[in-house]
A and B are shown apart, each in its own frame.
Chain A
């Protein structure tokens, strides 16, 4: 796809972010109110009265804006992370969920919710990394890591951490239990500025890193010996992808729970549009992943009168998509 067409991906997020601020279940405020609020906020001149202003501010600025930003941030993070893991493992069927990372990070985050003195982001990252590492070493044989064994290992690791998460839920008090259950469903409805603040730094750092090294992923994706022959150390390059990709995915899980299938399905949609060259997929993943998850979130909070957790939404859409990929690629059954 030429740059002239890709430019749309980079423009779309702006109107979409603004539009999303107008969407919500509240009947108290109208679009005019929001426009007036924006006017007053930006150019400090409006006929809007102070009470109304504060009410709109409470809804739009303190509830909707952090949610919209968080949805975008997490969409970008999971798509970039999924795309990077797919290059790293040379396997278009892996994602943070399939590698067990999401379950590991969820367990870590649940621990941090129960034991207040554990730092949330750090604990999620450590367990996310542990889970990916476990999946990899379980799948590792003398002949390398095959697609099938990696997916199977991921299922096992996911299972173990999900079981451990259940143990945490079982032992915790009912009040915290509700928080944990809601959060594991993959939720954006209790987005807040503090969640944006705690996740923005690791996510942005990781994304910038993965953006800078995007071309090297093309080299890595061709094979270990092929990488070494052209002068890069594959082990070192893989670590350079593994850490930031784990960082952004576990930071997302730490604040929003497991929003399933995004890390798998979105990079595929991106590649269908741009081709496999990571010089293009990485920037488009940032823009498209963020926009698309934001759009899904806009639907999830308007389609019914009660709110469906976004993680359920994405998994219901993504599940069949995975089956479709599996059937189409037949890649799974070819040992590499």
Chain B
């Protein structure tokens, strides 16, 4: 298992956000967290990224207890894609991607860091944007730059928080194809997604979260069953078959 979470509880002040979370994400798979707004998905992702302190329970990533790692050790294992906002300075794409190397650099990035940056830029397919100011790019292009920054970090696990939220359909498809490619090459990807249909089309595994707890599935249940999704999202839904899974539409 690439990520193993046990007995995790988390609260902001006195508000319980997550309760008794227990989950596993398999290595080399694309796992999606599904749930309503405010169900605790993003908080769970931040906890897995080690960006929030884990007060009770434990989170193991690639066999290491995340609480025991330093910030820079975490960055070498986990690539987290935050909700990025526009920087105040017009750094070029290349300069932004290079910052992904921060945990390997003492004072100035060296030859190897620049090579890794080039590699990441090429892999994501944005070499034509290399010298453009990040601040002038469209939302879709920015998201690709940020994923290149995560790749330059050379993590083993990538955590994505709503990576599709500002992308149009064509950029969503490009982005998901890239994620698939990364998963094929052996990376573990865990993402929070709004749209269950996209998840059913692309993801390998699913984790359903309702009111801060995991909704476990019985043997005869599938995440794309109408009854499960109605319970999860609290609205009326119908399903229609899609390949060996199903897609949902409002009833």
B92 part of interface (Cβ distance < 8 Å):
yes
**Interface digits, A179-215 against B, CB 8 Å rule (1 contact, 0 not)?**
0000000000000000000000000000000001111
Total B residues in contact with A, Cβ cutoff 8 Å: 35
Residues of B within 8 A of A227 (CB): 102
Contact partner of A219 among B90, B99, B107, B150, CB < 8 A? Answer: B99
What residues of chain B lie closer than 8 Å to A218, measured between beta carbons? Answer: 91, 95, 98-99
CB-defined contacts of B73 to chain A, threshold 8 Å: 231
Is B191 located at the chain interface by the 8 A CB criterion? no
B12 at the interface (CB under 8 A from A): no
Given contacts A216-B102, A231-B76, A231-B103, contact A223 B89 (CB under 8 A): no
Asked if B251 is an interface residue, CB under 8 A from chain A, the answer is: no
Contact B88 A230 (CB under 8 A): no
State the Cβ distance, B144 to closest chain A Cβ, in Å. Answer: 16
Question: B87, A230: Cβ atoms under 8 Å?
Answer: no
Q: Count chain B CB atoms within 10 A of each CB in A90, A216, A227, A229 and give the residue with the most.
A: A229
Cβ-closest chain A residue relative to B146? A226
B249 proximal to A (CB < 8 A)? no
Residue in A closest to B104 when the chains form the complex, CB atoms: A231
Q: Is the CB of B87 within 8 A of A279?
A: no
- What separation, in Å, do the CA atoms of A107 and B241 have in the docked complex? 75
Q: Which residues from A are CB-within-8-Å of B235? A: none
Could you tell me if A225 and B89 are in contact, using CB atoms closer than 8 angstroms? no
**Are A228 and B89 in touch, CB under 8 angstroms?**
no
Q: Which listed residue (B75, B85, B90) contacts A230, Cβ 8 A? A: B75
Chain A contact surface mostly: helix
Question: A307 at the A/B interface (Cβ < 8 Å)?
Answer: no
User: Contact between A276 and B103 (Cβ–Cβ < 8 Å)?
Assistant: no
**Which listed residue (A86, A214, A231, A331) contacts B75, Cβ 8 A?**
A231
Chain A 247-280, CB-CB to B under 8 Å as 1, else 0, gives 0000000000000000000000001000111010
Q: Which residue of A lies closest to B109 (CB)?
A: A215
B68-112 contacts to A (CB < 8 Å)? 71-76, 79-82, 84-85, 87-92, 95-96, 98-103, 105, 107-109
Q: Is B190 interfacial (CB-CB < 8 Å)?
A: no
Please give me the 10 A-B residue pairs with the lowest Cβ-Cβ distance, nearest first.
A231-B75, A231-B103, A276-B89, A231-B72, A230-B102, A225-B82, A229-B80, A219-B99, A90-B88, A219-B102
Add 19 more A-B contacts to A90-B88, A225-B51, A231-B74 (CB < 8 A).
Answer: A214-B108, A216-B102, A216-B107, A218-B95, A218-B98, A219-B99, A221-B87, A222-B91, A222-B96, A226-B82, A226-B84, A230-B153, A231-B72, A231-B76, A231-B102, A232-B71, A232-B102, A336-B85, A336-B88
Binding site for B on A (CB under 8 A): 86-87, 90-92, 212-216, 218-219, 221-223, 225-233, 271, 275-277, 279, 331, 336
